[in-house]
Structure 1
């Protein structure tokens, strides 16, 4: 049983996290501060340390050096791109935003300490350990071909374009490419291009100088420079504005980046891995994507097959998810009934693995049988419309988990160039709180009601009488 140490000064969060991890079969110890953690425990005895960034006394990042080889995962309520990059640069293995989503937290923990289990599981499915990819399940011919291509491409410096439908696991492939490369001792910076407003993305990617625009009170390093020596993963690169595409092309051609407002360029050594579900060649012909950038990034293309083309892999994935959710919700280990297996194999899964995850989680929650899950609990129908996965607290624009830039939808309101994400949040709330309920505001911003309330408190934005009455309605 893997041992985990939680270092968190808030009792409610510490207890909730402990219970979550214990339900997932981890042995958990606790401490409210770095000082108590180091005096009470030998940090090297743990398989993972999960620590809040801001603690009384020393910050959580101090544990990175003190823990030696034990990986440290950082939690932070201040889930800005900067704090995430800084903590990972100091050696944190990953970070999760508070309030954390349970699935995101469990996934992050398993990714860090579950590589050996992933290799054993792949071997049980007929794959050799050398072919295993952490977090990916499947022994179909198309997946074995994908694994082989990943292993061949990863050690090289080649730019990679990952193509696949939504929910097929493009970020898992990007992470595998990074971890099997010679850059794995440096950062992999992940950015969802669709989640950052057009007017902010150049500043986020390439940085800016003090005074470059209104509100630029200090120099800021961009994410491209933060990935120097490592890997830059641009998810949904097809959503990148043309102006930013031109700057990215210079990074790839010249190996240098120039922050906004600067007259000097800085040399960077970055490997680019890009992903998209769109046809970039078609976009290039329509003038919506730079053709020269398309040819530059399309050195090696990896295509992820949709779930409907992976044969029996669907059942292997479903059974793995079933085990995970049974453990998470404290239920006895269930199995799929024969009619459930038939239904899963017959359905086209337009939402791919993400939709399958939702179906299995829903089935486990609703199941009253102590032994098996029937097809009726899956709530899938060949004629049913595709349902979009709900945005969780761990996948939101202002509280990202794992992927910098988040997975929330792009804000619909235009943002001026002098606004940071915090400024945009404040302006949006003030301008719309008289016409929207708190629930509507949270949904538009891609955050939870709790996150909206916490940010109101921190930014000093009181709820008006109109907004309160709107909520009451």
Structure 2
């Protein structure tokens, strides 16, 4: 019989929850505050602790550290959803909103107890503060951001927490999701990957939740959805920011109730699926603009992983390039090739807007075109000048034109301009070069789109050159 401790300061709720759990054959103890629970009981003797978030004295989250390996389920009101997310970051295994449904509470408890029984208890000798990345991670990376990412993946993989992976296109978000799944207790079950941006809006609900025969035109037979296909395993939703609002509402219900209902069906089905979502967009800004459900955003924002862009990974660029080069040579059955010193320098200077995916494609292109055993810069097809960031342009400008002067106004004394801000530099560069360059050439030189150039002109009040 599982032992459960309830920590709740409201007597009515505490008594009702105790009766519910005892009715379902749990051995239940209760307390009205954290201090009272610590004084009366040995917390590690319990199989599960259920605690209110807001308690007199210490908050319920203090029990997370005090309980050691014992899972803690946090109860909170709907108005405190942000606090519940913070509780999950502190190590709570799950949270449930009050007032809760009895069936939902019992199912959540059963799931937590089942998960806890499968997880090995860490011995005191284990140093949980330094997590070594698994040797079979599908990543290369010695830089500090990647090492921090490996540690977070190892920690989150042991839990069933929902994960939101953020990062630019091509940074390897799906690889991170795969690493989490492969190191989790669900590793033997399937991981189903879905690109939300690649499915037509009219079909997204049918693809995710399935449909019954005749539920819409073309539904000639019943079909299970991708969520059901991931039952027992992991569902990876890439580009979740592209999910239509109606589908977001159904996804939120799935996350809250762990059940799905096919399109055209009146029956719901329970599923056991861990969700990992990814996006390159700012979901918080989308939520403010009404393009993404705020309640779904907070449901997803339990554990966040940020994928560093390739330009911030230093020497990892060369290590990745050499791996891609070896793989491409083996795949194409060609002699071993090497990167020339000039190619290495170019790759370290390049901004890599397409990130790791662009690097891999550049290496494959170079292998196809190579006539010698060395990869030279021209084979990579990288246009350094067209991809310079504003910061790089500014440093180059200062380096090569230190005495550049600007006329403050007609007839005024010409003075060297020092300490330019990025906006100052942008304005100066555009005004000095727009007579010789078209808008397209200016945008290309600055490494931005024409739309971005126009928007910055509007922001800074930079006039267009008169058409003559």
TM-score interval, smaller chain: 0.5 to 0.7
1:276 aligns with 2:245: no
In 1, the alpha carbon distance for the partners of 2:189 and 2:332 equals: 36
Cα offsets for 1:207-263 (capped at 9, x unmatched): 111221122222211111111111000000000000000000000001110111111
Distance in 1 separating the partners of 2:301 and 2:133: 26
Of 224, 228, 250, 1:225 maps to 228
Alpha-carbon distance, 1:330 to partner: 2.2
Decide which of 154, 158, 181 is 1:178's aligned counterpart: 181
1:309 to 308, 312, 337: 312
Q: Which residue of 2 aligns with 1:392?
A: none
Which SS does the other structure have where 2:295 is aligned?
A: helix
Larger radius of gyration: 2
1: CA distance, partners of 2:335 / 2:178: 33
Does the CA contact (< 8 Å) of 1:131 and 1:148 recur in 2?
Answer: no
Alpha-carbon shift at residue 326 of structure 1 (Å): 1.4
Partner of 1:375: 377
Per the alignment, residue 349 of structure 1 pairs with 352
Partner of 2:171: 168
Query: TM-score if structure 2 supplies the norm length?
Result: 0.54
Q: Does 1:238 align with 2:248?
A: no
Provide the C-alpha distance between the structure 1 equivalents of 2:296 and 2:226, rounded to a whole number of angstroms.
19
1:233/1:273 contact within 8 Å kept: yes
Q: How far, CA to CA, are the matches of 2:334 and 2:291 in structure 1? A: 50
RMSD: 1.7
Match status 1:146 vs 2:158: no
SS of corresponding position for 2:203: helix
> Would the aligned equivalents of 1:366 and 1:377 in 2 still touch at CA under 8 Å?
yes
Unpaired runs of 5+ in structure 1?
1-126, 387-473
Tell me how far apart the structure 2 counterparts of residues 325 and 212 of structure 1 sit (CA, whole Å).
47
Is the 2:214–2:220 Cα contact (8 Å) retained in structure 1? yes
Distance 1:267 1:295, change over 3 A: same
- Name the structure, 1 or 2, with higher relative contact order (CA <8 Å, separation 6+): 1
> Aligned residue for 1:434?
none
Q: Select 1:187's aligned residue among 187, 190, 193.
A: 190
Give 1:322 shift: 0.8
State the TM-score, normalizing by the size of structure 1.
0.53
Q: Which residue does 2:340 correspond to in 1?
A: 337
Please say if residues 132 and 151 of structure 2, whose CA atoms lie closer than 8 Å, have aligned partners that are also in contact. no
User: Residue 166 of structure 1 aligns to a residue in which SS?
Assistant: coil
Q: What aligned pairs does 1:315-464 form with structure 2 within 5 A after superposition? A: 315-370=318-373, 372-384=374-386
Residue 378 of structure 1 and its aligned partner are, at CA, apart by: 1.2
Give unpaired runs (5+ residues) of structure 2: 1-129, 389-468
Q: Which residue of 2 aligns with 1:396?
A: none
Q: Which digits, 9 at most, give the CA deviation of each residue in 1:62-120, with x for residues without a partner?
A: xxxxxxxxxxxxxxxxxxxxxxxxxxxxxxxxxxxxxxxxxxxxxxxxxxxxxxxxxxx
Aligned-residue offset at 1:373: 1.4
How many residue pairs align between the two structures?
259
CA shift, 1:382, in A, is: 2.1
Contact 1:340–1:374 (Cα < 8 Å) also in 2: yes
CA distance in 1, matches of 2:320, 2:131: 18
Asked if 1 retains the 8 angstrom alpha-carbon contact of 2:166 and 2:304, the reply is: yes
Go from structure 1 to structure 2 and tell me whether the alpha carbon gap of 1:309 and 1:130 turns closer, same or farther (over 3 Å shift): closer
Matches of 2:131 and 2:268, distance apart in 1: 46
